[in-house]
Amino acid sequence: MFTVWIVGVWPVASLGYRREVARKWAAYNRWVLRWSCGLSDHLEGGELLPPPPYLLLVKHQSAWETVVLHALFPPFVLVLKKSLLHIPIFGWSLRATGQIAIDRGLGVQSMHVVRDRGLEEFQRGVSVVVFPEGTRVAPGQVGKYNAGSIALAMEAGVPIVPVAHNAGSFWGRRAFLKKPGVIQIRIGRAIETKGLDKRERKRVLEEAKNSIEGMMAVIQKASEHG
């Protein structure tokens, strides 16, 4: 319903209005998951969020991130694969709300798109969400962390906010069925980038990775004893 509305008002409504409808759609998805599947979420570390804009580096385990995350944070845009734009209604709504779509097959050229669009959104005061491992990773696994988004944050001088969660334990990759439970989401301490030299990019990436994976270990330990 919300996605149809976003597409319908696309020609006449402002970008800000379309994005606000998208946030309401995410909140609706969150409600539906809770009452139809018994799947809710619990967020810790919200007090650590700096004033926007910032770069959110988020663990990617399931489709949950793309349909609920907008309800949990101030306005942001997602960096996502371009093929999602071709999905009827849902993909059109992604295009209508100005998400950053990239073609992974274009390599360096795709990173130029992320840089240009990311800087544009930061100037608007809008944060950017990047999945640093590039694709969904199964629970307990760690993918290769990419440094491209770190360069974007450093050029813009915005903080990097690490985010970990265990959504994949309840809503698996390519899975339709969802398990009931509580998704644990943790926000790490922001990593400042303003004034840093580009040669520090690797160190900043390692710090962000350690933060995310450290929080993942805490979440996993808590779930084993919960």
**7: domain CATH number?**
3.40.1130.10
Average of per-residue pLDDT across 143-170: 95
**Whether residue 4 has pLDDT greater than 60:** no
Task: Average the pLDDT over each of 160-164, 168-172, 211-215 and give the range with the smallest value.
Answer: 168-172
- Out of 92-106, 108-122, 173-187, 189-203, the most confident range is 189-203
Domain count, the chain: 1
**Residue 2 banded pLDDT, cuts 50, 70, 90:** very low
pTM > 0.95: yes or no: no
Over residues 59-64, the mean pLDDT reads 94
Instruction: Give the residue numbers spanning the domain of 44.
Output: 2-224
- With b for 16 or more beta-carbon neighbours within 10 A and e for fewer, the 95-118 pattern comes to bbbbbbbbeeeeeeebbebbbebb
Residues 6+ apart with CB under 8 A from 185: 41, 42, 43, 44, 72, 163, 164, 165
CA proximity to 55, closest of 143, 126, 133, 137? 126
pLDDT at 5: 42
pLDDT at 8 over 60: no
Compare 165 and 114 and report the one with higher pLDDT.
165
Answer whether 160's CB lies under 8 Å from 57's CB. yes
